[in-house]
Structures are given as structure tokens and as C-alpha cells.
């Protein structure tokens, strides 16, 4: 099978960081969001096609420098085509069936098992569903007792949500689905195409693991905490010569001797945290510099941000190169 991963969104809710870096390259627990999604793809996948758009060149450059362990090809859009348009634009030569994955969601999902269930049920598609309290940011599905999806509504008002089971952003579709996307314009797959597929048989695949869509600063930091807890069983590792409480993920060349930490921190490549500074529940991207005795908490700092000595940053999202 092949996989198609949608990666062309603007990441508007993560501005100003996403003015220079696409959200899928923001590191969570020591690894870019996109690579956490690639970890879910079965290792014998024939090819992964990334439907890129916004910042496609930045993604291409990153993949050249950090080639994934599986064959990956990118297909950029000249202008944003939406989730359906992106599928259509990048869908030439897709396998039948294929995996369709969003690139900003984290969960522990067995895609092979999902494909097996798809083959067993028949129908045109099988969608991974997860149960959440607040359905507002999501597409919501109502299921029949045989797990067939009877109704699907994208981002309904809470009073109109037919259940608490939402589209987790992992699915298996038959190739014919791509042909049902109107060509040549932007199309929301979830709003314009999916409801019309239900008559042809779309089944739910319930996922019981943790789940998060890392589309906002709060949810991005929550996603990082979930990933740390999943990968390290809650164990806290600290950089050599640092104090406090981990986990802290140290990427290539990051240094933090004499600094102190609270849990859940990623220090991106080349980050320096000087002695006496304290960092907790945060993501510091490439080459961020935190000077002596500064504090960074609940924050996401874009590349090359500089935090002055004794400065306190709490719940901030700062774009590339900002001096705080």
C-alpha cells in the first residue's frame, strides 16, 4: 500500500512561528511532528506521498537533510487546494486502497490493523475515530451498530454533533474516492466529498489510545506531553550537568549545562540554555538562546529566538529571531 499525507495547511493558529516554519516541522519530544506521523506508517509501505503546499520548499529542504527511512515523494500545490484538492493533486498512482493521513495529529494507531478491518468490511473507506469531550474542532461521525458511519458532520455546533466520536485524521480509502473530488479547485474533503461517500459504505475504526490535534499552542504542548509519556513511560531524562525534572529531549548539539528543568521540554538543534536558567513545558526550536537566570514556561519559541538574562517568558509563542 501507499500512503498520502496532507501537509499543506497554513498553520494559522500557530503563528507567528508558522510564518517561517510549517507546523509539521515543529519538534515534539525531540522529533518533528511529521516524523511522529511517519512512525505510524507500516515499514513495508511502498511509497509515502506528501501533499504539500504552504512552505513546500522548506519541507523539501528538511527532507533532503533528514531523509526518512521509507521512500517519500512530495507533490506541491501551486495554490492551496484544501484537503480534497490536495488528495486529488497528489493522488496520481495511488494504491487501491491507500492510507490518508493528516500530518498534525498524534495517536498510537495500528494502521495495518485498520487496513485489515477495511478489507474485512468492504465499502469505500474506513476512518479512524477517537472519542473526545469537545467535538467542536473536529469532524464528527455517527455509527450504526455494525460500525458503519451513518452521518458525518465537519465541525458542527455542539448541539448538532451526532456523537463524541471524531475523525482522528487516519483513514484507509479506495482509490476511486480520489476521482470523486471535483478537479481544478479547492475542495474540503470532509465537507464536500465525505458525506456523499457514506452511501457507498464507510466504516469506523475506533482508536482507544491518547489523541491530539496539535493545531494550537495549548494542544501542541499537550501533544508533546502525551508523546513523552508514551515513549518514555513518564520517565524523566535530563541533559548531562542539568538539574530538576525531565523528560527533556536534547536534539543535535543542544547544550544546557547548569540549567534547571521542569518536565516536558524539547531543546532543538543547537539550542543553548545558560546556567541558572529554568525551562519547563516548552519547545525551543533551532538555535534558541536562553541567557542566565531566565525562565521559560509553557512557551513555544521559534528558531533563533533570544531570551535575555533574568527574563521571564510564560505561555508565549514567539516567531523566528525575536529578542525577548
Q: Which stretches of the chain bind ligand GDD, using CB under 6 A?
A: 6-9, 51, 53, 77, 80-83, 86, 102-105, 137-139, 154, 166-167, 169, 190, 213, 215
Shortest spacing between CB 102 and Mg ion, in angstroms: 6
Q: Which residues are paired to 102 by β-bridges?
A: 6
CA distance 147 to 231: 31
- Residue 213 lies near Mg ion (rule: CB under 5 A): yes
Which does residue 8 touch among Mg ion, ligand GDD, none (CB within 5 to 8 A, set by kind)?
ligand GDD
Binders of Mg ion among residues 90 to 119 (CB under 5 A) are 104
- Residue 85 lies near Mg ion (rule: CB under 5 A): no
Which does residue 6 touch among ligand GDD, Mg ion, none (CB within 5 to 8 A, set by kind)?
ligand GDD
Which does residue 91 touch among ligand GDD, Mg ion, none (CB within 5 to 8 A, set by kind)?
none
For ligand GDD, the closer CB: 223 or 271: 223
Cell of 80: 492551496
Helical (H) or strand (E) element with 227 = helix 217-232
Cell of 77: 500545490
Shortest spacing between CB 26 and ligand GDD, in angstroms: 12
Which does residue 154 touch among Mg ion, ligand GDD, none (CB within 5 to 8 A, set by kind)?
ligand GDD
Cell of 9: 495547511
CA distance 104 to 129: 15
For ligand GDD, the closer CB: 53 or 262: 53
Residue 271 contacts residue 257 (beta carbons within 8 Å): no
- DSSP-derived letter for residue 55 is B
Q: How many CA atoms lie within 13 A of 101 on its CB side?
A: 30
For ligand GDD, the closer CB: 33 or 251: 33
Shortest spacing between CB 241 and Mg ion, in angstroms: 38
Residue 77 contacts residue 7 (beta carbons within 8 Å): no
Shortest spacing between CB 189 and Mg ion, in angstroms: 13
Region for 122 from its dihedrals, namely left if φ exceeds 0, alpha if ψ lies in -120 to 50, beta otherwise: left
Identify the CA nearest to 242 among candidates 255, 256, 252, 253.
256
Shortest spacing between CB 10 and ligand GDD, in angstroms: 7
- CA separation (Å) from 165 to 76, 132, 144, 197? 32, 7, 12, 18
- DSSP-derived letter for residue 228 is H
For Mg ion, the closer CB: 102 or 260: 102
Identify the CA nearest to 200 among candidates 149, 272, 264.
149
Shortest spacing between CB 1 and ligand GDD, in angstroms: 19
For ligand GDD, the closer CB: 87 or 294: 87
Shortest spacing between CB 155 and Mg ion, in angstroms: 11
* Binds Mg ion by CB under 5 A, chosen from 22, 128, 204, 215: 215
For Mg ion, the closer CB: 77 or 104: 104
Which does residue 302 touch among Mg ion, ligand GDD, none (CB within 5 to 8 A, set by kind)?
none
Shortest spacing between CB 13 and Mg ion, in angstroms: 9
CA distance 262 to 269: 19
Task: Return the SS3 of 88.
Answer: helix
Which does residue 293 touch among ligand GDD, Mg ion, none (CB within 5 to 8 A, set by kind)?
none
Amino acid at each position: 500500500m501507499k500512503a498520502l499525507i496532507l501537509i499543506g495547511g497554513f498553520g494559522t493558529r500557530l503563528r507567528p512561528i508558522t510564518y517561517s516554519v510549517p507546523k509539521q516541522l515543529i519538534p515534539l519530544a525531540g522529533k518533528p511532528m511529521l516524523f511522529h506521523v511517519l512512525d505510524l506508517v507500516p515499514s513495508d509501505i511502498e511509497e509515502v506521498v506528501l501533499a504539500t503546499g504552504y512552505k513546500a520548499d522548506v519541507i523539501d529542504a528538511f527532507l533532503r537533510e533528514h531523509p526518512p527511512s521509507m521512500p517519500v515523494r512530495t507533490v506541491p500545490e501551486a495554490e492551496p487546494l484544501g484537503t480534497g484538492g490536495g488528495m486529488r493533486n497528489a493522488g496520481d498512482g495511488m494504491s487501491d486502497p491507500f492510507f490518508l493521513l493528516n500530518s498534525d495529529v498524534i495517536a498510537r494507531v495500528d494502521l495495518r490493523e485498520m487496513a485489515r478491518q477495511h478489507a474485512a468490511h468492504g465499502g469505500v473507506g474506513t476512518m479512524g475515530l477517537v472519542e473526545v469531550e469537545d467535538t467542536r474542532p473536529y469532524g464528527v461521525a455517527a455509527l450504526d451498530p455494525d460500525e458503519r458511519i451513518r452521518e458525518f458532520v465537519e465541525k458542527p455546533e455542539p448541539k448538532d454533533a451526532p456523537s463524541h466520536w471524531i475523525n482522528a485524521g487516519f483513514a484507509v480509502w479506495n482509490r476511486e474516492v480520489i476521482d470523486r473530488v471535483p478537479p481544478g479547485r479547492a475542495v474540503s474533503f470532509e465537507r464536500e466529498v465525505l458525506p456523499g461517500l457514506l452511501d457507498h459504505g464507510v466504516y469506523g475504526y475506533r482508536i482507544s489510545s491518547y489523541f491530539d490535534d496539535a493545531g494550537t499552542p495549548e494542544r501542541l504542548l499537550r501533544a508533546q506531553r502525551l508523546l513523552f509519556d508514551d515513549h518514555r513511560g513518564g520517565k524523566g531524562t535530563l541533559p548531562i550537568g542539568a538539574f530538576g525534572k525531565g523528560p527533556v529531549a536534547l536534539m543535535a548539539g543542544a547544550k544546557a549545562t547548569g540549567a534547571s528543568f521542569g518536565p516536558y521540554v524539547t531543546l532543538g538543534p543547537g539550542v543553548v540554555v545558560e546556567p541558572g536558567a529554568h525551562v519547563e513545558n516548552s519547545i525551543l526550536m533551532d538555535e534558541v538562546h536562553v541567557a542566565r537566570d531566565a525562565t521559560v514556561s509553557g512557551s513555544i519559541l521559534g528558531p533563533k529566538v533570544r531570551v535575555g538574562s533574568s527574563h521571564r517568558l510564560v505561555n508565549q509563542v514567539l516567531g523566528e529571531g525575536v529578542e525577548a
